[in-house]
Amino acid sequence: MPLRELLPIVLLGAGIALGAGSAACVARQGSTGASSSSAAAQPARPSASASASAAAPAQPAASDPAAPGGAAPEPPPPSAEQIARLPPGAAIYASLRNSALDAAVQYVPQIAEVLIEANRALGSQDPPDVTLAKAGVDPRRPILGAVVPASEKSARAVVDAMAKGASGKALEKVVREHAADVTRVRLLVPLVSGADPRRALAGVVDVLAGGAPLEACPGAARCAGFGARAPLGVAQGGIAAVAIYADGADLRLDVVMSLFGSGGDPAALKELVAFGEEVGGPEGRCSRFDASPVVSVCLDPERMGELGATDGYGKIARALSGGHVDPRVIPTIAAQGFAEARQNLRLAAPARRLASDGTLGVTAQGKRSRFVASWALTDASRAGVERAFAAERCAAGEAAVTELLPALRAAVGDPGKGFDDPKKVVTAFEEAGWSAYLIAAGGPWLNLLGVIARVLEQGPGTDPDYHVCARYDGGRLVLVSEIRR
């Protein structure tokens, strides 16, 4: 299997964060399956978790030469102060430069599917980069995004009640009690000089809020709860409540998407107000998030597990609501869907944890792609990796599979129960859905090295242009890889 085929997992993380609004709206409104995996478009390939190693995030070059023809040099990367405007506790932190879309699609064609889906939701006939440019987005500075999951402990109660046979008013009561279970998304969008923040992402707001108008603050009644920090405008409808803020000369888009209710619910507005106060950026895990590369993403596997599970709970509840399913079979379907959604939690929390805090990025220049990734090692894996990779070890082509992969597998040791059985892994990925790949990329891919090795042994071989180096660095495993096309 050419390892470059595994790179979409990295970029999918950015796609989820940056396209969470329109893509999630389309997925939820069009979802008809009851299980968490029913809406997953990704095939279950356990080897995809290796993408975290093969597809690593890119470190920025020490300096970027000025563009040809005397064009202005690239602006500096986002400051720590800018990144701190993102919320804490996110499952995904991501950055993406509009100017990098062509390169991203060239090297990872699968990301085009994410962009095309988002574009379709916005009703645009233009290429994605043109759509963003027309909206006033500055192509030279990155869009920053974060996705914060709902509480899994709270959200599970709705599907659990359905599985136990709750119906009618009893079920309605449970759903009302969990109207505040929401997925929260924040985008920090750089605008060109003179762009109107209220109009810049009008199409995104329209899709998310189901066509509901953006009501200007401070005059609208919905703005009262925000107090002195009122946004420019608020919209409620569809599955989301949305607020637009002026962030200096740029735009901040806050979105809360209800798992079980409507974006028009009072609870959604209350959560939107509270979300507006959540700042500080990555804390603890994802503290190494770096927005310097053209595409960068950090994944917290445990929070990703919550995101995948709660997204599954929401899909199950919506699919079984509305009177379209025979009430006699709802408990059975809900129980099955509940079990499938919880595969996300199992994948995110191996009995023997080996790594977490996956920080990934990519730089593409001409025919050369460079990926850099690092993961925080645990007590179970740190000593072995330090012994084996204190001195950097590199391999090219097939040697990456025949030499480097076995060395890494030996260094981390036993993967833990359930992570060495290919059938169980495939089942877990199928049932967990799209989020399984991102959970694995955040760290648990190290638990899957044995499964990955078996899959690669059966494949057509490794791309001879693929080159990868691994090293131990201050308690982290660092992988640097390059691909020439």
Report the Cα 443 to chain-centroid distance in Å. 14
Averaged over 421-425, what is the pLDDT? 87
List, for residues 235-261, the tens digit of each pLDDT value. Answer: 998 888 999 998 877 889 999 999 998
8 A C-beta contact, residue 466 and residue 481: yes
8 A C-beta contact, residue 25 and residue 209: no
Residue 460 tokens, joined: 């057509």
Average pLDDT, the chain: 78
Residue 70 tokens, joined: 């005397």
List, for residues 198-219, the tens digit of each pLDDT value. Answer: 777 777 777 777 788 889 999 9
pLDDT > 70 in the chain, percent = 76
Closest alpha carbon to 333 in 31, 35, 29? 35
List, for residues 166-176, the tens digit of each pLDDT value. Answer: 988 999 999 99
- The pLDDT value recorded for residue 39 is 32
Report pTM: 0.82
List, for residues 39-59, the tens digit of each pLDDT value. Answer: 333 323 333 233 333 333 333
8 A C-beta contact, residue 347 and residue 428: yes
List, for residues 444-476, the tens digit of each pLDDT value. Answer: 999 998 888 877 776 655 566 778 899 999 999
Buried b (16+ CB within 10 A) or exposed e, 178-213: bbbbbbbbbbbbbbbeebebbebbbbbbbbbbbebe
CA 333-338-340 angle, 5° bins: 95
H runs (alpha helix) in 284-329 = 301-320
List, for residues 56-99, the tens digit of each pLDDT value. Answer: 333 333 333 334 444 556 677 788 888 899 999 999 998 887 76
Q: Strand 233-237 and strand 476-484: pairing?
A: unpaired
